[in-house]
Amino acid sequence: MHRPVGVSRDFLDADGNNVWGDIGLDALEAAGIAWEYLEENTAELTPGQIEGRPGVIFAAPAVTKNTFAGVTEPPLVLARFGVGYDSVDLPVCTANSVAVTITPDGARRPVSTAALTMILASLHNLGAKDRLLRRGEWDRRTEWMGRGLTGTTIGLIGLGNTSTDLVELLKPFGTTVIAYDPYCPPERAEALGVRLTGIADIAAASDVVVVMAVLTDETFHLINSDFLAQMKPAARLVNVSRGPIVDEAALIDALRSGTIAGAALDVFETEPLSTDSALIGMDNVILTPHSIAWTDEMSLGNGGSAVRAVIDAIESRAPQFVVNRDVLTKSEFQARLTRQQSDVRS
């Protein structure tokens, strides 16, 4: 007999309240599916946490080979609350016939809105002006004249689901949008009104560079000293994706030297950001703790998407947003998917 669907313990605060608010778990109950929070808050999912469960919804924990050590009845689906999966060992999950899902439908608008927020905040020097007022330096406000978004060139690193939504949000501002994404079909970019170009052109032509790519071996330190040296002196860098895509030491040098005008960062090479980081003392940098997109909209969007993935698997349907697509063709996965509904509801 199956155990209930598991929800990772990191969703709860010290008082047992869900830190994200409503994440749509009532849809499981409406579908007649039992669920429970895992008993321990662990850095990675453990064998005891996943054994015998039809699915696990998780946010912070990693998924490694240790997660499956000795497991005889793994979940059919591990549903991540979010779009990143760099801490999930996909080959190991596939080898164990476990589908891993993410929530691009839930994060799409919250993250694109967050990116637009960071663009505007950086161009308007919001951080510096906030600090001037708090320090009682009202008379220095003319030193931080901002720049309007209208008519600027926005360079996107990555033209996926969320970047596409940002393109739509930028349209009223009359911006020119260019993008570097070697995996984006040219016809798709053309339909969006976006010109695909090389990474060097993104650096040289953009007034704002926005990092929205997935962290991979190819994108690690894609934004490096060479890239930053080619940017306009008045340009800004925005990163709402993953910290290691940007060489942080090179960025600090570029900000100190005036190679670029500013940055707005929600993510960092090492998180949490050290309190002695040089970034913290810079007036031309806006910093947020990997949470700029965290809103009630994201909570319910991500949660609802993860819940749907679990319900689909239990009701013998392949979930929509599976990132290890190879698992869908495995005979063992298909056999487990077929019998899942009767097992869980028995």
What is the tens place of the pLDDT at every residue in 187-246?
999 999 999 999 999 999 999 999 999 999 999 999 999 999 999 999 999 999 999 999
Question: Minimal CA–CA distance to 239: which of 58, 228, 229, 259?
Answer: 228
Which pLDDT belongs to residue 339? 81
What is the tens place of the pLDDT at every residue in 22-67?
999 999 999 999 999 999 999 999 999 999 999 999 999 999 999 9
Question: Minimal CA–CA distance to 4: which of 30, 27, 37?
Answer: 37
Q: State the sign of the Cα–Cα–Cα–Cα dihedral 233, 235, 240, 241.
A: negative
In this structure, which long-range contacts are made by residues 178-182, counting pairs with CB atoms below 8 Å and at least 24 apart in sequence? Answer: 178/153, 178/154, 178/202, 178/205, 178/206, 179/155, 180/155, 180/156, 181/156, 181/157, 181/213
What angle (nearest 5°) sits at the alpha carbon of residue 40, between those of residues 34 and 44?
100
Which pLDDT belongs to residue 101? 98
Catalytic hit among 3, 124, 195, 290: 290
Distance separating alpha carbons of residues 333 and 313, to the nearest angstrom: 10
Give Cα separations from 329 to 69, 152, 334 (angstroms): 23, 46, 7
Confirm whether 40 is a catalytic residue.
no
Question: Minimal CA–CA distance to 175: which of 147, 199, 203?
Answer: 147
Distance separating alpha carbons of residues 100 and 81, to the nearest angstrom: 11
Alpha-helical segments (H) within 231-273? 248-257
Which pLDDT belongs to residue 342? 54
Catalytic hit among 137, 143, 271, 332: 271
Q: How many helices (H) and strands (E) does the chain have?
A: 12, 12
What is the tens place of the pLDDT at every residue in 281-324?
999 999 999 999 999 999 999 999 999 999 999 999 999 999 99
Give Cα separations from 337 to 39, 77, 161, 254 (angstroms): 27, 10, 28, 52
Q: Is 290 left (phi over 0), alpha (psi -120 to 50) or beta?
A: left
Domains within the chain, CATH numbers bracketed: 5-104+296-345 (3.40.50.720), 126-283 (3.40.50.720)
Let me know: does 177 contact 205? Beta carbons within 8 Å.
no
State the Rg of the chain over Cα.
22
Which pLDDT belongs to residue 341? 57
Which pLDDT belongs to residue 2? 75
Mean pLDDT over each residue of the chain, to the nearest integer: 96
**In terms of C-beta density within 10 A (0-12 exposed, 13-18 middle, 19 or more buried), how is residue 136 classed?**
exposed
Residue 115 confidence class, pLDDT cut points 50, 70, 90: very high
Let me know: does 102 contact 57? Beta carbons within 8 Å.
no
The one-letter code for the residue type at 111 is: V
pLDDT, average across residues 75-95: 96
Q: With 60 as the cut, is the pLDDT of residue 346 above it?
A: no
| C-alpha dihedral (89, 90, 95, 98), degrees to nearest 10 | 110
Tokens representing 321 are 């947003």
Q: With 70 as the cut, is the pLDDT of residue 1 above it?
A: no
Confirm whether 290 is a catalytic residue.
yes
Residue 343 confidence class, pLDDT cut points 50, 70, 90: low
Confirm whether 168 is a catalytic residue.
no
The one-letter code for the residue type at 101 is: T
Which pLDDT belongs to residue 308? 98
Return the SS3 of 342.
Answer: helix
Distant-in-sequence, close-in-space partners of 336: CB < 8 Å, separation ≥ 6: 76, 97
